Amino acid sequence: MRLQVFCEDRLGMTRELLDILASQEINLRGIEIDRIGIIYLNCPEIEFEQFSQLMSQIRQLDGVTDVRKIQFMPSEREHKELKALLQTLPDPFFSINLSGKVDLINEAAEQLMSNVSTDVLGEYIQILLGFNYTRWVEKEGANKRSEMVVIAGLDYLMDVMPVYVTNENEESVMVSAVILLKSLSEAKMPIAMREISGDNGFEHLVGQSSRFKHLLVQAKKLALLDAPLLIQGETGTGKEMLARACHQRSIRREQPFLVVNCVSMPDNAAETELFGFSGGANEVGKKGIFEQAAGGTVFLYEIGEMSAHLQIKLLRFLQDGTFRRVGEEEEIKVDVRVICSTQKKLPDLIAAGEFREDLYYRLNVLALVVPPLRERTADIVPLAELFLAQFAQELQQAKPKISDKLSQYLSQYAWPGNIRQLRNVLFRAMTQVEGSEITIDDVQLPENETTSIISDETLNGSLDEIMKRYESGILSNLYSSYPSTRKLAKRLGVSHTAVANKLREYGLSKR
C-alpha cells in the first residue's frame, strides 16, 4: 500500500511516522518527501483493522492535516506515465545509460529489433545499432547528432540526444541518452543522407540462406579489389543492387556510380553516350559516361546486349583506360572501375559469334553468380517481410502480418521473375489487403508448375523427410491449377482416394 500524508514542514515529522510504522511492525519499502509538505510512504498491504488503526495514529500526529491511500508513489507514477507515452510513439525509441547499455525501449523498437537480436534490454547500443556510444561521449562531447543507419534492410534516420539533469549545485550533469529512429523511404530521404546511406551498402541485402551468405562473403572480398567484375544471374535477382553494394564498399565509394543500360541504348547514340563527343563550331562538346564517372564506377547492365562495334571500343578502354571522344583525335585517360551484369551465358554468345571472346576474358577477371530465388527458399519470407515493411512506410499504413499458409505458399513457388516478381506481387497485395494479415487470397500469382526446387535448405533432414517435403511442394502448387481432388488425381495419374489422403496428410485439403 502507498500512503500520502499531508503535514506541516517541521523537524521530527518523518521520524514520528517511522516510529508508528515500527510500532505496528510494518516494513517500509520506500519514502518520498515533497517540498510542499507531503510525505509518501510505500509499505506492504495489511489487514483492514490494522490499516484503520494506522490511519488513526497518523492523523493524531501534531501537524498532520490528512492522510490518504494512493495507487502509486510519485516516482512510480512518473515512470509509468513516461513508459505509456513512449509506447504510443510510432517510431522506435531507446533509452541508453552511461555505460552505453539499453535501459528502456518502446514497442516499436521491440518489433524492429526482434529480427536482429533476441536480447535488447541490457545490450550495448553499439552491438545493436553500430553506434559508437563511448566515442560520442568522450571525443564528440555528447552533442546531438543525426546519421543514417540500416536495420533489417530498412533505412532510418537516427537522432541521438543526451539527457541532462540539474544537481544540488545547480550544475547540468549528463545522466543518459535517448535514440529515436525515424523510418525513411528512399523517395523521402534527404539527398545528403541518401549519398551517405550505409557504410558499405550490403546492409540493404537481406537473406539467411547458405547460398546468400556465401555470395555476400565473396562479394565483400571482391568489392575491395579494383579489377573488372562480372555479375551473372537471372533477371530480377538483384544484380544492380549487388553492384551498388560493391561500389559502396570499395575505395571509390565517394565517387560517382553510373549505370548504363545496354538493352535500351540505341546503337547510333551509344558511342557518344559512353565516350562523349567533341564540340563543333556551333555545338558544345559533351562528356561521356566514362568521363563523368572518373574515379568512380560504371555499371554496364546486360553487357551481352552490347553491339559488336561498342565491344571493340570497350575492349580498348579496358586495356589502358584511354578513349577518344567521337569526332576528336586527342586521347583521354580516366580511372574507372567497370562492373558488368548479364542474364545470358556469355560463352554461348561467344560460340554463336555474338560476343567477343577477348572482351569476355577482360570482363571476367572477377565474377559473382547470383542464385535464383528458387534456390534460396530460406530468403523468400525474410524478403517478403522487408518489402511489406517498405510498402507500409511508403503507403503510411500498418505492416500486415504474413499468414502461415501464405509463408508456405510463397516458399514453394518457383518465382521465375525472382526478387523483382516477389516485390511486385506483394506490392499489389499490399494495396488491396484490408485486415491486419495478408493471406493467400490477397496474392495473385500466375500458374506455374515448374516448382522443382533443389537447394541446401530443401536437402536438410532424412531421405523420408526430404521426399515428404518435396511431395508436399508438388501437391501444393498443382492444387492451385487443379483445385479439386478428382482433377488433381487425373493430372497425376493416381486414384482419387490416394490424392485425398495425401492432401489430408500435408494439411492441404482445407485450402
What DSSP assignment string belongs to 181-229? Answer: EEE--TTTS-HHHHHT-SSSSGGG----SHHHHHHHHHHHHHHTS-S-E
CATH number of 2-76: 3.30.70.260
Give the separation between CA 6 and CA 14, rounded to whole angstroms: 12
Residue 447 or 222, more confident = 222
List own/partner pairs for 75-82 with CB under 8 A and 24 or more apart: 75/32
Residue 44 has pLDDT above 50, yes or no: yes
401 phi, psi to nearest 5 deg: -85, 145
For the CA atoms of 394, 400, 405, 410, what is the dihedral angle to 10 degrees?
A: 10
CATH superfamily for 463-505 is Homeodomain-like (1.10.10.60)
- Same-fold call for 2-76 versus 202-369: no
- Residue the block writes with cell 540493404: 204
User: For the chain, how long is the longest CA-to-CA vector?
Assistant: 108
Tell me the whole-structure pTM to 2 decimals.
Answer: 0.60
Split at pLDDT 50, 70, 90, the class of 192 is very low
Whose CA is closest to 337, among 393, 392, 297? 297
pLDDT for 228:
93
Query: What is the third-level CATH fold of 89-195?
Result: Beta-Lactamase (3.30.450)
Query: Could you report the per-residue pLDDT of 325-379, keeping only the tens digit for each?
Result: 888 888 889 999 999 999 989 999 999 999 999 999 999 999 999 999 988 888 9
115 by Cβ neighbours in 10 Å (0-12 / 13-18 / 19+) ranks as middle
Q: What average pLDDT does the segment 42-46 reach?
A: 90
Residue 116 has pLDDT above 80, yes or no: no
**Domain ranges within the chain, ordered by starting residue:** 2-76, 89-195, 202-369, 373-442, 463-505
Residues near 63 by beta carbon (within 8 Å), at least 6 away in sequence = 7, 8, 10, 13
pLDDT for 450:
43
CATH of 202-369, one of 3.40.50.300, 3.40.50.970, 3.30.70.860, 3.30.450.40: 3.40.50.300
pLDDT for 85:
77
Q: What average pLDDT does the segment 306-316 reach?
A: 89
Query: What is the third-level CATH fold of 373-442?
Result: Helicase, Ruva Protein; domain 3 (1.10.8)
Rg from Cα positions in the chain: 33
Give the separation between CA 38 and CA 48, rounded to whole angstroms: 24
Highest-confidence segment of 55-64, 393-402, 437-446, 460-469? 55-64
Q: How many CB atoms lie within 10 A of CB 46?
A: 15
